[in-house]
Amino acid sequence: MARFTVAAKWCDVMTSGPDSIPRGSGLTDRPYVALNVCFALSVGGWLPVLTLLAVLMRDHLDAGVGGAVVTVLIIQVIATGVSLYAGTFAARWGSRKSYLLGTAGMALFACLLGVANQGWQVFAVAPLAGLVMPFHWTGTTAYILQAVESHRRGFATGINALVMVAAPGLTGPLLTYLGAEFGLGASVLGGCGFMVAAALAIWLLLPDLPAPPSVGAKPSFADYPRLLAERANLIAAAARLTMGLSFGMFQLLSALVILDVTEDLATIGFYLSAGAIGGGLSQVLVGAASDRFGRRNLLFLAKIVGIGACLFFWQAPSLLLLLVGATMHWFAQSAYQTLITAICGDLVAPRDLPTLSGLHTSSFSVGMVVGAVAGGLLWGLDPGLPFLFVAFCLAPVAIALFLLPQRTLAT
């Protein structure tokens, strides 16, 4: 009987207007379900494109690893500043509009990247990605925190993290197959197609959420120093920064490591699938456990797993061990996403959720900038050194997490 009640509730909500969508609805309601459908399409297109960027620059456009580093730097330096504006944009105009703007812009960037035939053309379109990408991630984070009740936040972000790794795990082999058959540009254009579908789904399926209660002044850039003045927010931002460092290093260089070991483009698809299987399927449990037992200790465990993944790629002796490292890396990344996003929602009032989401997106971009610079400098010395550098950076932040309260959600 309960099953039919849920189905009837879903049908009622799907046929109602956006203004009737309540804030803090459940996991089976339209906002949360539609968000995950849209998110699967957007990250299913975007993350494989990022993974293939270094291969495209080095092996197809003759721009070398340095060309990929420059591209990432252009994107992330711009994104670092734009992320702060994306937070205030989402606070004023709504997280759905932020998500739609970012996804549509990323689709346009992927289209231009797919037809590029010289390295300078990639450099020319890279600023577009830096301008729009923060709106995608800030909009997603803010929307999920606003759409779900606070006591289900960890479980909800766990499902969202599962989608983040499962979707590329499904689309990655398809896109790399297209690349092997028709050229790497076909892989990138295929990713663009998924993002176009995501933008259409956001426009047609995803409802606007009512604005949070407004107390005091309107959201502004002055909110960022106020939030960072609180120790818990500062530590959480540092954890997000090192998450960006690790993510950026793996996105930039992991495909090159695997390709150099196997000399087979299809194995990059296996890398994405290994991450989906090993990392994503556990995240619903991580999120649910964090609601019950607290998020801090689980976040520390994720950092340790991330350090282990770096050590596997530091040595990189075989495809099997690289796939084990990929599983650990994506477990850690999706756990970071689950736990940090939930902690972000726990630490601040509803009014500050979009602003703090923008701060975390900016911190993530700073980490990716550091990762790109370090990766470019260390790769020429030894392809394993960039991953060892990430492991050393993760360790002190993992220890600092114990300064957070064990339970960040007040109940």
The type of residue at 136 is H
Question: How far apart (Å, rounded) are the C-alpha atoms in residues 310 and 386?
Answer: 9
Q: Determine the residue type at 381.
A: L
Q: Alpha carbon of 153 to those of 42, 150, 279, 355: distances in Å?
A: 22, 5, 19, 18
User: What's the pLDDT at 120?
Assistant: 92
As a whole number of angstroms, the distance between CA 324 and CA 293 comes to 28
Q: Which residues are CB-neighbours of 50 under 8 A, at least 6 positions away?
A: 251
**How far is it, in rounded angstroms, from Cα 15 to Cα 115?**
40
State the Cα–Cα distance between residues 248 and 239, nearest whole angstrom.
14
SS3 191: helix
What's residue 326's pLDDT? Answer: 85
Residue 411: is it exposed, middle or buried by C-beta count within 10 angstroms (0-12/13-18/19+)?
Answer: exposed
Do the Cβ atoms of 253 and 408 come closer than 8 Å? no
The pLDDT of residue 410 is: 45
Q: Reduced to 3 states, what is the DSSP secondary structure of residue 277? A: helix
What CATH number does domain 29-209+221-403 carry, 3.40.50.150, 1.20.1250.20, 3.30.1490.20, 2.60.40.1180? Answer: 1.20.1250.20
Token digits for 96? 């759905």
Dihedrals phi, psi of 216, to nearest 5 degrees: 85, -150
Return the bridge partners of 143, or none. Answer: none
CA distance 45 to 102: 13
Give Cα 335 to chain centroid, integer Å: 11
Which tokens belong to 262?
């196997």
Please tell me what DSSP assigns to residue 28: T
Reading the chain (411 residues) residue by residue, the pLDDT tens digits are: 444 344 444 444 444 444 444 445 566 678 889 999 999 999 999 999 988 888 889 888 888 888 888 998 999 889 888 887 887 888 788 889 999 999 999 999 999 999 999 999 999 999 999 999 999 988 888 888 888 877 777 677 778 878 887 888 889 889 988 988 898 899 999 999 999 999 999 999 999 887 555 545 555 566 777 777 778 788 888 888 988 899 888 888 888 888 888 877 777 777 777 777 766 656 666 766 766 666 778 888 888 999 999 998 887 677 888 888 888 888 888 777 777 777 777 777 777 777 777 778 788 888 988 888 888 889 888 888 999 999 999 999 888 888 877 655 443
pLDDT for the residue numbered 13: 41
